[in-house]
Amino acid sequence: MPLKQFTLSRNERLKSRKQIDLLFRQGTHLNIFPLRVSYIASSEAREEPLQFGVGVSGRWFKKAVDRNRVKRLVRESWRVQKNGLKKILLEKQMNMIVFIVYTGRELPEHDQIRESTARVIENLCSIANEDTQANI
């Protein structure tokens, strides 16, 4: 049963074009090289408190094989590390939509992506805590 917590279920994946467009138009951005993170935090009720998407530029990675590898690395790193953020969002009764764009120009190593994703999740956790402090 403990392996169930390290999944990236269908409901947790960001697939709606409307939500992605809204995220890029109205969301907040932060850069943690080689990742650019766009997110929207809200308190409206939703079935899944944390939704996630990832993208890689075709400009720097011409081959789909390379783009898919980078996306796979980012998804894997997110899947393993997201539980702390999800727990905070559940406690605070918040929702967050996150989209990560890989901005590097070279194929990354797994360790580099893991460290960057860890920093992203730390920042998002602190943002979730700040938002609830501001609402009180």
Residue predicted with more confidence, 82 or 4: 82
Instruction: Give the residue among 120, 121, 132 at the shortest CA–CA distance from 91.
Output: 132
Query: Residue 6 — pLDDT band, cuts 50, 70, 90?
Result: confident
User: What mean pLDDT is predicted for residues 120-135?
Assistant: 81
Separation of alpha carbons 110 and 70, rounded Å: 9
16 token code pair? 């709606």
- pLDDT tops 90 at residue 11: no
CATH number 3.30.230.10 given to 12-135: yes
Q: What pLDDT score was predicted for residue 129?
A: 87
- Can you give the residue ranges of every domain in the chain? 12-135
Could you tell me the sign of the dihedral formed by the alpha carbons of 12, 16, 18, 20, in that order? positive
Question: 5: Cβ–Cβ under 8 A, 6 or more apart, which residues?
Answer: 83
Query: Residue 131 — pLDDT band, cuts 50, 70, 90?
Result: low
Query: Residue 1 — pLDDT band, cuts 50, 70, 90?
Result: very low
Q: Is the pTM of this model over 0.85?
A: yes
Strand partners, 96: 41, 50
